[in-house]
Structure 1
Amino acid sequence: MSAQIDRFVHDRLPPAAQLPIFRYDLPELQLPDQLNLVEELLDKAAAKGFADKPMLRSPGRTLSYAEAGVEVDRIAKVLVEDLGLVPGNRVLLRGGNSIGMALAWLAVVKAGLIAVATMPLLRAKELGDIIEKSQPVAALCDGKLQDELRIAQQAHPVLKAIVAFNQPDAPDSLESRAATKRGVFAPCPTAADDIALLAFTSGTTGKPKAPATTHRDVLAMCETWPRHILRATPDDIVIGSPPLAFTFGLGGLLIFPMWAGASVYYADGPYTPESMVKAIRDIGATLCYTAPTFYRQMAPFAKALGVPTLRISVSAGEALPDATRQLWKEATGIEMLDGIGGTEVFHIYISAAGNEVRRGAVGKAVPGFTARVVDDEGREVPRGTVGKLAIIGPVGCRYLDDPRQANYVKDGWNYPGDAFVQDEDGYFFYQSRADDMIITSGYNVGGPEVEDALLKHPAVAECGVIGKPDAERGMIVKAFCVLKPGHAGDAALVRALQDHVKATIAPFKYPREIEFVASLPRTETGKLQRFRLRQST
């Protein structure tokens, strides 16, 4: 039975006919109907032998699992006793990756509240849109990031309280309030299908959506990709750049390390490619999460400085060009662990590691998931044929009050919006976002394939490829290229890049237009925003 008194989110979930089918085919996916994910991951850490092991690390502080548990209980008491919050209330979280942000998130969820984490760079208008959609009663905000949130609060009085964290000396900060609390906080007896978080999507395709994720969803995902593919250990030290405000970062840099009894390191500020490599060396990090673009930028520093303790490099968030995979492997000797997932299902559902990696492929369906490539009517297409990816498993999309639910879930299957090819051995090869597929003179061209070819040219640092409307061909392939220092973006280089692509992949896929730019539009997580490139043509 649900413990969430505030039914705002439950009442705005999709109707039953639009919900995905949930399959719990593996023994480890048979989870109880009453479940609090923080109780499972943190309160039960001592019984698993993790109590005294490091859990959260930063340059100035390290907390064991037991110490983190005490801090989480104190914050939860502030939320319930001081702010008067009840299970089901939404709490907006605003902050970068830090121990303070991690503790606040865990306390919110342990108390049966619903975490609505937001990106640090969002401005008042964007925060206002999230507040309007999710109706949070309170916010926990990094002390340095309050200004925009307070502007948003003025226009949205539903947000009654803002409490600052990462300000231990401020008299009314979260830390100061929590320091007055004593005793154990009993976890809210949430149902497994009570909502734990609303994770707003990154906006690569336009207006962000708000998938609702349950306690069961999060713990079920721990039993899929982390158990069967990642295989982290209690001795791992995890580092990475994805924000905790997005599920790639939340899973990789908090939830999955806790599930394994590992520890995670948060720097004092955003990483540069060089500072990430130095941090890996300094702390002895063994497992790294970041996006392909960042790995590409890290590669020369990793080659020069070395990353001797690193054993796993996870790439996700956007398509991994094979050129980047090989560059990183040449620099470090590490075969990248690629994966594709989504906010709608919390994390990765297609992946491969170690000797299971096949060049050019993302991987196979993760145990617990079934994936297939289908046509517009949902019929599976022959192997080797481009089609739309459809998945089904222990998690699935539930958009909060959004008509786009009908586009994502069809006949119980989740349609992430990606175009793939599956080979005879079950490996999936990413082509593009389904709405990014370029159809030129009757040929299907995937932008990421052209991007991969361009990145193999020594002059190209980054690139993005789109289809540009064309009266004669329907579309033409257009590339936006950021050049490495010392290269001039002139007509001669355009011809050289076009010839290079023709020599690398099928000649009809070459970019008929190339525009040289200083930078590419990306989300805060590093994903390329192709819709903005299309808008610029």
Structure 2
Amino acid sequence: MQSNVPTEYLPDESDSPDYVYPIPEAHYPREINTADQLVDRHVREGRGDNVAVYFEDETITYEELQERVNRMGNALRELGVESGDRVLVRFPNRPEPVITCLAVQKIGAVAMPSMKLLRAKELRYIVNNAEATTIVVYDDLLDEVDEALPDLDTVEDVVVAERNGIEHDHHSYDELMDAASPELEAADTERDDLALMLYTSGTTGRPKGAIHTHRQMLATADTYARYCLEPTEDDVFGGNPPLPFAYGFGDLVTFPLRFGASTSLTQDASPGDLLESVENHGISVLCSIPTAFNQMLAKFPDGPDEYDVSSLRVGMSAGEPLTPTTFEQFREEYGIKLLDGIGTTEMLHIFVSHHHEGEVDPTATGFPVPGYECKIVDPDTGEECERGEPGMLAVRGPTGIEYWNRPEKQDEAVEDGWSFPGDIFVQREDGRLEYKSRADDLIVSSGYNIPGPEVEAVVEEHEAVAEVAVVGAPHEQRGEIVKAFVVTTEGTTGDDELVEEIQNHVKNTLAPYKYPRAVEFVTELPRTETGKIRRKELRE
């Protein structure tokens, strides 16, 4: 890997993935810059008046976005940010983080979007691990930065976007922008220079910095988005995944801007806010997680009548498995397919999905995305499994797993050039890949391997169940038993009779040994900022 950062932080060649580029769109010239491709190219090609960003009542054209990116890039250079420097960007979903990340990349530095719920302790670890030099932050999220600041070894400057009147003694985002030149040539970055670093949520230990190059960022759009969504410049992408979530950054930044389309940003969006944005901004590609789609169905049963949703043409779902129940209900109510996808922070975006115009089987995730190849291997022998047999998913394509300065984790994640995201799948006879569980979510009960998400999908079919999470609970005789944590629908009481109904439904649908021997009713499920269920918390 050619790189703009010190090579001692990058994986050894022997532990790096083998990158393959089987589609023509994934071949890029040696010198290429993400920000130039996502913004400047559209202005050069006459699309400067197209709307790039919708936010509340504001519209930002590509020409206006270019000027703001240029000003921020020049401001960062004035502060001393150099090629390869890491810049932490900490905001809710608003235009400023999009502008800042693009500006960082345009000057050849590395953007590090940060989840807004991170506390000072977590920020200390991430900033020091990445050796970030600069932080750009929303004023309402400044307190944790200030608390961490005395212990941040490499940070030289903090830039604050003043939107809520919070006092501070750092640089002013707006003042820097106003003073900076609107003209900026993109740095001479190479395709394998680092452009983006995203830290994993760290649910199983210290967060890991997943590193991505200019080429890899563009490749996510030129594989999954181009082939599975087929976007045009008339599309409007919108949704509520946080921008620092790899899924959200692709959905709301890389994908729309790659195709000259628009992104609709909604700060701290509830399901109702999303429906308003669909109506007000004409969202055509709706991106979210299964929980949010279920909330839209449950809290807005008349949503398609109350809001103008005629602009919608396809939905994207990731973060957790999308159940067939949710898929069918959403298609019935909103008239669009939700494309389930498997992707990871490390792989940057979705690499298994269906095509929006193809036949979608909601009981499977889909096929390998054009540009990627997948195989299922026996975790013990490393041999490829027969179709129909569960095993570990291995992936190869234009993106792969590479960690910043974590050689021990790198060694676990890549084998013979294939990346192992840590998921158990089955490849069916028709080639579709069916998700079973995360490797660490497999429940082993009396010697049987039981994938929790498979049980969840069946429990969710019960009309009294709004949400469910299934984990293994310790058991003296069986090792583990299947335990379901259930949130009931409004007006339904969780009692012994409902427990029996749920158990019988699972017994009648799946092999009887998979039924939940314990059911606990809860008011809500613990979730990460990206909407994933905190199963570790439930297991504890």
Relative to the length of structure 1, the TM-score reads: 0.95
Greater Cα shift, 202-211 or 285-294: 202-211
Q: Secondary structure at the match of 2:342?
A: strand
1:275 Cα deviation from its structure 2 partner: 2.1
1:247 Cα deviation from its structure 2 partner: 1.1
Residue 282, structure 1, aligned to residue 280, structure 2: yes
Residue 305, structure 1, aligned to residue 303, structure 2: no
- What's 2:179 paired with? 180
- What's 2:17 paired with? 20
1:265 Cα deviation from its structure 2 partner: 1.2
Q: Deviating runs (4+, > 6 A) in structure 1?
A: 168-171
Distance 1:172 1:211, change over 3 A: closer
Query: Which sections of structure 1, spanning at least 5 residues, go unmatched?
Result: none
- What's 1:380 paired with? 384
Cα distance in 2 for partners of 1:25, 1:166 equals 46
**Are the equivalent residues in 2 in contact too, given 1:3–1:112 (CA < 8 A)?**
no
- What's 1:336 paired with? 338
- What's 1:70 paired with? 67
Q: Secondary structure at the match of 1:344?
A: coil
Amino acid at match of 1:160: E
Relative to the length of structure 2, the TM-score reads: 0.95
Distance 1:79 1:293, change over 3 A: same
Q: Secondary structure at the match of 1:499?
A: helix
- What's 2:523 paired with? 518
- What's 1:458 paired with? 463
Cα distance in 2 for partners of 1:2, 1:77 equals 25
1:183 Cα deviation from its structure 2 partner: 4.3
Cα distance in 1 for partners of 2:422, 2:3 equals 34
Q: 2:414 aligns with which of 406, 409, 418?
A: 409
**Are the equivalent residues in 1 in contact too, given 2:316–2:339 (CA < 8 A)?**
yes
Distance 1:279 1:253, change over 3 A: same
Q: Per-residue CA shift, 1:242-270, capped at 9, x if unaligned?
A: 11111101110011100111111112x31
Q: Per-residue CA shift, 1:487-531, capped at 9, x if unaligned?
A: 222222211211121122222210001111122111101011211
Q: 2:82 aligns with which of 83, 86, 106?
A: 86
Cα distance in 2 for partners of 1:40, 1:330 equals 38
Cα distance in 2 for partners of 1:374, 1:203 equals 26
Residue 391, structure 1, aligned to residue 392, structure 2: no
**Are the equivalent residues in 1 in contact too, given 2:137–2:159 (CA < 8 A)?**
yes
Residue 231, structure 1, aligned to residue 234, structure 2: no
Q: After TM superposition, list the pairs within 5 Å mapping 1:431-450 onto structure 2.
A: 431-450=436-455
Distance 1:206 1:484, change over 3 A: farther
Residue 486, structure 1, aligned to residue 491, structure 2: yes
**Are the equivalent residues in 2 in contact too, given 1:204–1:530 (CA < 8 A)?**
no
1:168 Cα deviation from its structure 2 partner: 10
- What's 2:155 paired with? 159
1:44 Cα deviation from its structure 2 partner: 1.0
**Are the equivalent residues in 2 in contact too, given 1:2–1:190 (CA < 8 A)?**
no
Cα distance in 2 for partners of 1:152, 1:183 equals 33
Amino acid at match of 1:90: R
Amino acid at match of 1:478: K
Amino acid at match of 1:487: T
Distance 1:101 1:166, change over 3 A: farther
What is the root-mean-square deviation in Å for CA atoms of aligned residues?
1.8
**Are the equivalent residues in 2 in contact too, given 1:167–1:173 (CA < 8 A)?**
no
- What's 2:371 paired with? 368
Q: 1:356 aligns with which of 354, 359, 382?
A: 359
Residue 321, structure 1, aligned to residue 323, structure 2: yes
- What's 1:197 paired with? 196
Q: 1:291 aligns with which of 264, 267, 289?
A: 289
Distance 1:383 1:166, change over 3 A: farther
- What's 2:271 paired with? 273
Greater Cα shift, 360-369 or 22-31: 22-31
1:453 Cα deviation from its structure 2 partner: 0.9
Cα distance in 1 for partners of 2:37, 2:475 equals 55
Amino acid at match of 2:409: R
Distance 1:3 1:422, change over 3 A: closer
Cα distance in 2 for partners of 1:214, 1:206 equals 25
Q: Secondary structure at the match of 1:224?
A: helix
Residue 101, structure 1, aligned to residue 97, structure 2: yes
Q: 1:400 aligns with which of 404, 413, 423?
A: 404
Q: Per-residue CA shift, 1:55-82, capped at 9, x if unaligned?
A: 011113211111100110010000001x
Cα distance in 2 for partners of 1:167, 1:77 equals 22
**Are the equivalent residues in 1 in contact too, given 2:138–2:161 (CA < 8 A)?**
yes
Amino acid at match of 1:247: A
Q: After TM superposition, list the pairs within 5 Å mapping 1:29-40 onto structure 2.
A: 29-40=26-37
Q: Per-residue CA shift, 1:260-291, capped at 9, x if unaligned?
A: 11111112x31111221122122221111000
Distance 1:393 1:3, change over 3 A: closer
1:356 Cα deviation from its structure 2 partner: 3.0
Q: Secondary structure at the match of 2:69?
A: helix
Q: Secondary structure at the match of 2:346?
A: helix
**Are the equivalent residues in 1 in contact too, given 2:323–2:362 (CA < 8 A)?**
no
1:439 Cα deviation from its structure 2 partner: 2.0
Cα distance in 2 for partners of 1:295, 1:477 equals 26
1:49 Cα deviation from its structure 2 partner: 3.2
Cα distance in 2 for partners of 1:92, 1:278 equals 31
**Are the equivalent residues in 1 in contact too, given 2:131–2:153 (CA < 8 A)?**
no
Amino acid at match of 1:43: D
**Are the equivalent residues in 2 in contact too, given 1:212–1:400 (CA < 8 A)?**
yes
1:347 Cα deviation from its structure 2 partner: 0.3
**Are the equivalent residues in 1 in contact too, given 2:364–2:435 (CA < 8 A)?**
yes
**Are the equivalent residues in 1 in contact too, given 2:55–2:265 (CA < 8 A)?**
yes
Cα distance in 2 for partners of 1:293, 1:3 equals 39
Cα distance in 1 for partners of 2:390, 2:245 equals 29
**Are the equivalent residues in 1 in contact too, given 2:54–2:281 (CA < 8 A)?**
no
- What's 1:249 paired with? 248
**Are the equivalent residues in 2 in contact too, given 1:100–1:166 (CA < 8 A)?**
no
1:361 Cα deviation from its structure 2 partner: 0.8
Q: 2:140 aligns with which of 138, 144, 149?
A: 144
Q: Per-residue CA shift, 1:271-329, capped at 9, x if unaligned?
A: 11122112212222111100011101112423442522111111111111111111211
1:2 Cα deviation from its structure 2 partner: 5.8
Distance 1:502 1:336, change over 3 A: same
Q: Secondary structure at the match of 1:356?
A: coil
Query: Which sections of structure 2, spanning at least 5 residues, go unmatched?
Result: none
Q: Per-residue CA shift, 1:367-394, capped at 9, x if unaligned?
A: 1100011101321111111111001011
Amino acid at match of 1:372: K
Cα distance in 1 for partners of 2:159, 2:462 equals 50
Q: Secondary structure at the match of 2:135?
A: strand
